[in-house]
Amino acid sequence: MTADESTFSSVGSEITVTRWASFKDQVGRSWYRFSRNPISLAGGSMVLLVIVLAILAPYVTPYPRHAGSFTDFLSAFQPPSQSHWFGTDEVGRDVFTRVIFGYRVSLMMAAVVLGISVPFGIFLGLVAGYFGGWIETIIMRVTDIFLALPPLVMALAICSAFTPTIEKAMLAVAAIWWTWHCRLINSITRSIKTEEFVQASQVIGSSHLRILFKDILPNCASAIMVKITLDAGFVILVGAGLSFLGLGVQPPKPGLGTMISYGSQHLPMKWWLTVFPSFAIFFLILGFNLLGDGLRDMLDVEAEGV
Amino acid sequence: MYSILVLVGLSVLIFIIARILPGDPARLALGPFASQEMVARLRHRMGMDQPLYLQYVAYVGGIFHGDLGLSFQTRRSVSLDIAHYLPATFELVLVAIIWVLIIGVPFGVLAGRYKDSWLDNISRVVAFVGVAVPPFVVGLIGQLIFSYGLGILPTTGRLSLLTPMPPARTGLLILDSLIAGNFSAFGDALSHILLPSLAIAMTGIGQITRLTRGSVSDVLGKDYIEAARAFGIPNRYVTFKYMLKPSFIPPLTILGLTFASELGNAFLVEQVFSWPGMAKYGIQAILRKDFNAVMGVILIIGLAFVAVNFIVDVLAGYVDPRIRIQEES
Amino acid sequence: MVDQYMLEIRDLYVYFRVYEGISRVLDGVSLDVCKGERVGLAGETGCGKTVTMKTVMGALRIPPAIIPKGEVILDGQNVLKMSAKQLLQMKGTKVSMIFQDPMNALNPVFAVGTQLFDVIRFSNRHTSNGGKLSKKEILNRAITALDEVRLPDIKRILNSYPLELSGGMRQRVLIAMALVNGPSFLIADEPQTALDVTIGAQILDLLSELVRTKGISVLLITHNLGVIQETTERVNIMYAGQVAETAPTALLFENPKHPYSQGLLASVPRLTGGEIAEGIRGMVPDYTAVPSGCRFHPRCDHALPICSQKKPPLLLVEPDHLVGCWLYAKEGDAE
């Protein structure tokens, strides 16, 4: 090894070390900001708890068979008890079990809808913001049309064209959801593209694709992350609304909105059929919102001290 | 001009969605026992054997005569149906907007002014709960507590069966009963609208509280607030005048979106409270694939959205000279 | 002799609570402004100039700020011990300030006139007679004030919103607001930085002329040494929350003593010489982990062992010239 090489490598490792240190410092600061905020910690734990319960649903629920079209009319309409924490429904199924399985459906819905709509929205937003001109005009005017209706109404309208199933509901929600991400990314891209590092990249002849995905996209990352977390809650909310109106999850599948819709027919006597699934939805959406809010505080670079 | 483009786009979009309905509207209208020939005749009468774009042109032509087609469900003109159901929804959403303004805005201002105080923490909870709880859940739990449990509020409808309808002037029962000087009907209408309007307003209250809080705390950090204080203007005066006005701009500009989300919530809440409004009519239409009625309801909602945004823009221009001056130049 | 001083800052410490712990920003700052004097406070960005200014204006938010020690005496009264009411009476009428960025210091949603009228209206409540001004009187004072800062077309300006005015015009409006209630002391925080160079120079000329004719004492805060040289009579060089050197402006520019002042002056490019400006190595320290003793010692080429152990006192090196540096210490100064 020559002297030159060794100097070079030591300089390299020094840079790595400082980078790692600054990364660790950044993580530390972010975590500090996040952990100082008990509300966002609570949100994170709530979401984590629900996800774990949903994944392990067949193992943690007392009556996994009750998730489907099981019937046991002898134990129908039992109020909450030790053997049935949330009571039983009109055909004798354990409500607690169905709520946990209902979480599976809700989380699945959020994952599928965002999995389809977010990449699509991001791509169109990047293209619209970066290229501008008529491309931007067309894309953004189309999003305007979608945004002229409340998301639930738009989803309802799309759903109405099909026989209601949960898959169709997911597609319908995904079909409108991309517009929000498209707008967000479009506005960020528009402001970033005039910055020097993007222009420098253009000057040294990077391809458009490279600039879009290597220079601009990483700068949208934290905004996207916060938006996705908050959106998960909203998608679940819209999904529950569709199910409540009979256009989402179809029985005997356990959807939280569907369960509430059926349960509400038995108010006020069989209150547990409404109250527990309601609380379950609320718990999950609240968790996502608190987490999203915490992430927003954490990822925003705020002025400190002096 | 631009909003008209949005409306046209919306109508095209909905027309396409509605016309690819797997079900045949003519068949649905006539029922399963009608002969093939009858169905074909009805299709012809409804113009459904024409190419799609001609159907669209005919539909839009009808709109300008106030004709939204016939509803298969009620067998009446959709325009008449909507005129009949619209005031109930309008009343509900209007009261909900008032809730948002009188709860969300002051709460947000206080929370932003006294950041990290107990009040701020309560506002956080209210905001998060408001946004996280589905409106139909608010409605159902409200019914459970106040109607079934405490028995102090009615469960469904706009008026009690025994209360005679006040003569229709505006279609808004609260106003009509006041105009008629019928205070018992007024109280009855008010008690009926309380829960559903709050259920609709929850989301908006949450959003506006949060946004107002953020905007107040932003403005408080601005140089111009520090400057006003440095020039010897008393704190309280700075707060009420120099802080509030700029703080109101962000919540004002999203009021259009709040309105839209309330209209969306109405679709759920009218169902819970059997509120005889347009949203409930729309849901029935969607479930029964009543194409003309779905189109009509959606167009009206789109129109309302455009109109509200126009009003909001005017108001924002009034509060914020930056918008006004930009538009003038 | 108390009356001689407009502003006396004595051994002022200001800390902030932050994530890393406690940020020790001001570390025993002392500086004076005599009546009628124009004093500069110069230093790099982040050396504590703004914190000093906010403390004097009673505008520090406590917490997160902590003031463990020190006195700020403005015209005979300790600002740190004033009640809210006393502070309010002081602002505008006794002390006022000019802000760095005229773009942000005017409220964007109110007409210029509205803001100026309020400044006039409220100051009057605290004047000796306590009577209210008539609308006409307020308008007259506003017009006079805007006339003094040489704004043309005053009626139009009163009715304009800030965004309809250029940066220079806004700064003039702000100067009018600062001076309209006749303060005897003015803090100017980089009044020219946010403006174009030529406009900034006009603003400085106007300001110098106004304070001279009105006999107002000034504390000018800036990182621009050229501005200090042109507009002040005495200058304090600040480094990392400590006063490094204080002297009459001409004296300091001619004969800087503190190694930091020397470095600072050397880093200013001169039009006369052909040499390239030198910089000072290193950076302003992190206030949560400040160097012990003299805060400049890690960057100082002449550092002595004592520099890292003990903070240097301000030493008189020649008449009216104080330096906070151990290089100029005589026997016994260390005790």
What's the pLDDT tens digit per position in B213-234? 989 988 988 889 888 888 888 8
Provide long-range contacts, Cβ within 8 A and 24+ apart, for A22-29: A29/C19
Helices C167-179 + C135-148 axis angle, to 10:
120
Across C176-202, average pLDDT: 82
CA A164/CA A247 separation, integer angstroms: 5
| pLDDT band at C145; cut points 50, 70, 90 | confident
Across the interface, whether the CB atoms of A144 and B9 are under 8 A apart is answered yes
Q: List the one residue out of C156, C3, C10, C6 whose CA is nearest residue C80.
A: C10
What would the pLDDT profile of C19-30 be if each residue is shown by its tens digit? 777 778 788 888
Q: How confident is the model at residue B25 (pLDDT cuts 50, 70, 90)?
A: low
Give the residue, B77 or A10, on which the prediction is more confident: B77
Q: Which of B224, B226, B232 sits opposite C122 (nearest CB)?
A: B232
Averaged confidence pLDDT in chain B: 85
User: Is residue C298 very low, low, confident or very high in pLDDT (cuts 50, 70, 90)?
Assistant: confident
Put simply, whether B137 touches A (Cβ < 8 Å) is yes
Examine the pLDDT at B22 and tell me if it is beyond 70. no
**Does A194 score more than 90 pLDDT?**
no
Provide the domain count of chain A: 1
Q: Dihedral sign, CA of B293, B294, B299, B301?
A: positive
Does residue A7 belong to any structural domain of this protein? no
Angle at C329 between CA C324 and CA C334, to 5 degrees: 90
| Domain map (residue ranges) of chain B | 2-64, 79-328
Assign A11 a pLDDT band (cuts: 50, 70, 90). Answer: very low
C188 to chain A, minimum CA–CA distance in Å?
19
* Residue in B224, B230, B249 closest to C59 by CB: B230
Q: In what order do the strands lie in the sheet with C5-18?
A: C21-34, C5-18, C65-74, C77-78
Cβ of B134 and A289 within 8 Å?
A: no
Among A150-154, C13-17, C95-99, C263-267, which is the least confidently predicted range? C263-267
- Please name the residues between 219 and 258 in chain C that touch chain A, using a CB distance below 8 Å: none
Whether C157 and C114 have beta carbons less than 8 Å apart is answered as no
pLDDT tens string B68-104: 878 877 888 888 999 999 999 999 999 999 999 999 9
For C27-91, the three-class secondary structure string (H helix, E strand, C coil) is EEEEEEEECCCEEEEECCCCCCHHHHHHHHCCCCCCCCEEEEEEEEEECCEEHHHCCHHHHHHHE
Tokens of B176: 């009509």
> A124 phi and psi, to 5 degrees?
-65, -40
Residue C128, pLDDT above cutoff 60: no
Task: Say which residues have a Cβ less than 8 Å from residue C112's Cβ, sequence separation at least 6.
Answer: C106, C157, C158, C159, C160, C161, C162, C165, C173
| pLDDT of B165 above 50 | yes
Per-residue pLDDT, C263: 79
C16: left (phi over 0), alpha (psi -120 to 50) or beta: beta
Q: Cβ atoms within 10 A of the Cβ of C163, count?
A: 14
* Whole-number average pLDDT of chain A: 82
CB C19 to CB A33 under 8 A?
A: yes
Locate all alpha helices (DSSP H) within chain B, ordered by sequence. 2-19, 25-30, 36-45, 52-64, 78-99, 105-113, 118-132, 135-142, 173-179, 183-220, 223-230, 235-237, 244-247, 249-253, 255-272, 278-287, 291-319, 321-328
Averaged pLDDT, A77-91: 86
- Confidence band of C333 (pLDDT split at 50, 70, 90): low
Say how many Å lie between the first and final Cα of chain C, rounded: 29
Chain C contact probe: residue of A297, A302, A306 with most C CBs at under 10 A: A306
Task: Identify whether A9 is part of a domain.
Answer: no
Per the CB < 8 Å rule, is C23 touching A306?
yes
Q: Quick check: B224 and C108 CB within 8 A?
A: yes
Q: Is the pLDDT of residue B298 over 90?
A: no
pLDDT tens for each residue of A117-148: 999 999 999 999 888 889 998 998 888 888 88
Q: Which of residues 13-32 of C touch A (CB under 8 A)?
A: 16, 18-19, 23, 25
| Residue C3 predicted with pLDDT over 80 | no
DSSP assignment, residue B77?
B
Q: Phi and psi for C15 in degrees, rounded to 5? A: -115, 160
C-alpha closest to that of B224 among C231, C109, C4: C109
What confidence score (pLDDT) does residue B317 get?
84
Q: How does the average pLDDT of chain C come out, rounded?
A: 79
Q: Please report the pLDDT score of residue A48 as a whole number.
A: 94
Provide mean pLDDT across the span A232-252.
89
**Secondary structure element (H or E) that encloses residue C315, with its range:** strand C315-318
> Distances from the Cα of C8 to the Cαs of A181, C30, C100, C231, C236, in angstroms?
56, 7, 23, 20, 13
Given this model, what pLDDT does residue A100 score?
93
Do the Cβ atoms of B22 and A161 come within 8 Å? yes
Per-residue model confidence (pLDDT) at position A110: 94
The CATH architecture that domain B79-328 belongs to is Orthogonal Bundle (1.10)
Q: φ, ψ for residue C321 (rounded to 5)?
A: -135, 110
**Which domain covers residue A195, as residue numbers?**
47-59+84-303
Residue C334's pLDDT is: 58
The residues with which C29 forms a beta bridge, in sequence order, are: C12
Which of B329, B199, B301, B322 has its CA nearest to residue B252?
A: B322
**pLDDT of A300 strictly over 70:** no
* Look-up of token digits 């298969």: B72
Determine, for residues B134 and A281 on separate chains, whether the beta-carbon distance falls below 8 Å: yes
pTM: 0.81
Distances (CA, A) of A282 to A114, A133, A275, A277, B41: 20, 43, 10, 9, 51
Q: Which residue has the higher pLDDT, B195 or A22?
A: B195
Neighbours of B324 (CB within 10 A): 15
pLDDT for A6 beyond 70: no
Query: C160-179: per-residue pLDDT in tens?
Result: 888 888 888 888 888 888 88
Q: What is the pLDDT of residue C331?
A: 63
Domain boundaries, chain C: 2-94+183-328
- Contacts for A262 with CB less than 8 Å, ≥ 6 apart: A89, A90, A251, A273
Question: Has residue A26 been placed in a domain?
Answer: no
Cα B259 to Cα C43, C45, C193, distances in angstroms: 53, 47, 45
Confidence of residue A14 (pLDDT cuts 50, 70, 90): very low
Neighboring chain B residues of C119 at a CB cutoff of 8 Å = 228, 231-233
* Domain with residues C2-94+183-328, CATH architecture: 3-Layer(aba) Sandwich (3.40)
Average pLDDT estimate for C139-143: 82
Residues of C in contact with B227 (CB under 8 A): 97, 99, 105-106, 174, 177
Q: Does A29 touch chain C (CB under 8 A)?
A: yes
Q: Any CB–CB contact under 8 A between B14 and chain A?
A: yes
Distance CA C299, CA B116 (A): 40
pLDDT at B201 over 90: yes
Residue A24 sits at the chain C interface (C-beta within 8 Å) = no
Phi, psi at C69, each rounded to 5°: -160, 155
pLDDT in tens, C44-75: 777 778 888 888 887 777 777 788 888 888 88
pLDDT at residue number A303: 28
Question: B205 and B213 in contact (C-beta within 8 Å)?
Answer: no
The predicted pLDDT at position C125 comes to: 60
Residue B329 reports pLDDT greater than 70? no
Average pLDDT over residues B31-56: 78
Has residue B24 got a pLDDT over 70? no
* CB proximity C46 to A under 8 Å: yes
Give the three-class secondary structure for C242.
Answer: strand
Mean pLDDT of B98-115: 91
